[in-house]
């Protein structure tokens, strides 16, 4: 655990004051998509890694708006809720569509990804031993919906012809599902192509190859 935390801490970059600070446990968890998005945008950030024993003392919890992490600081702005982070970055860095209609569709797809993420998290933390097989068997039903969207929108992105925060969110959820079930995308060529294109974007590739990424477990209970 300490090794992971040190590797993650090293992920504070060369810039004197990185604009963003992530406060979270030593996991990819609900910051996986955020970190991939920040990397691809060429943004630097600082990690404050919270030890679970320290968290259990309750002092930090009391300061969190919903009593939970992660927390994202952008200068004086302090945010909670991981999907809020993605939307904030999307707004600031041009990854929230070209107009209100595109923004609404991006919200819709990100909410769809969130539904899948919530089911995944429930299975990982509450039903891994008893429910993993059924979860994997049910995956095609969920994945086929995203496959259809990418097939229809020929640009390679979920909405319009450019990257949005929902693309990072979908990408990260798919990466985690490929760890859970390495063949889960075999019947979905559009999703497979999407993951391959996203993975080979130079800044994403560099981040996925980094110790900072590799040293963090996907989930806090070690299941994946
Ligand atoms: N909806 C929140 C969920 C946050 C959440 O579930 N946080 C968990 C860790 S991933 C937590 O803080 N657990 C410790 C606790 O509740 O005391 C988000 O997306 O950020």
Task: Compute the mean pLDDT over every residue in the chain, rounded to the nearest whole number.
Answer: 94
Each residue's pLDDT tens digit, 55-103: 999 999 999 999 999 999 999 999 999 999 999 999 999 999 999 999 9
Which atom of ligand 1 is closest in space to residue 27's alpha carbon? 10
Q: To test ligand 1's pocket by mutation, which of 51, 70, 172 has the most ligand atoms within 8 angstroms of CB? A: 70
Using N-to-C axis directions, what is the helix angle for 100-126 and 128-152, rounded to 10°?
160
* pLDDT value of position 12: 44
Q: Would the pLDDT of 18 be above 90?
A: no
pLDDT of residue 16: 58
Ligand 1 centroid–CA 68 distance in Å is 5
CA distance 204 to 207: 5
> Which of 30, 67, 68 to mutate to test ligand 1, by most ligand atoms within 8 A of the CB atom?
68
Question: How far, CA to CA in Å, does 193 sit from each of 47, 82, 154, 167?
Answer: 31, 26, 12, 13
| Complete edge-to-edge strand list for the sheet that includes strand 77-80 | 45-49, 20-24, 71-74, 77-80
Q: What is the mean pLDDT of residues 23-39?
A: 98
- What integer pLDDT is reported at residue 2 of this predicted model? 41
On the CB side of 78, CA atoms within 13 Å amount to 7
| CA distances for 94 relative to 16, 75, 76, 88, angstroms | 25, 19, 21, 10
Give residue 177's Cα distance to chain centre: 12
Share of the chain above pLDDT 90, in %: 92
Q: Is the pLDDT assigned to residue 218 strictly greater than 60?
A: yes
């Amino acid at each position: 655990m300490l090794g992971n935390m040190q590797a993650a801490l090293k992920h504070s970059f060369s810039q004197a004051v990185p604009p963003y600070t992530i406060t979270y446990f030593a996991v990819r968890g609900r910051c996986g998509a955020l970190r991939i998005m920040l990397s691809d945008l060429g943004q630097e950030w600082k990690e404050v890694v919270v030890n679970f024993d320290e968290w259990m003392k309750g002092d930090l919890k009391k300061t969190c708006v919903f009593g939970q992490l992660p927390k994202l600081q952008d200068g004086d702005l302090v945010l909670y809720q991981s999907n809020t982070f993605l939307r904030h970055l999307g707004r600031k860095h041009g990854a929230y569509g070209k107009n209100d209609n595109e923004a609404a569709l991006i919200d819709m797809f990100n909410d769809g990804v969130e539904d899948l993420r919530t089911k995944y998290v429930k299975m990982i933390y509450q039903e891994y031993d008893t429910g993993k097989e059924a979860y994997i068997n049910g995956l095609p039903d969920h994945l086929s919906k995203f496959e259809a969207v990418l097939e229809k929108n020929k640009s390679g992105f979920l909405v319009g012809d450019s990257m949005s925060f929902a693309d990072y969110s979908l990408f990260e959820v798919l990466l985690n599902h490929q760890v859970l079930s390495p063949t889960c995308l075999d019947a979905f060529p559009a999703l497979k192509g999407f993951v391959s294109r996203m993975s080979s974007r130079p800044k994403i590739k560099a981040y996925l190859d980094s110790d900072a990424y590799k040293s963090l477990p996907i989930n806090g209970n070690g299941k994946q």
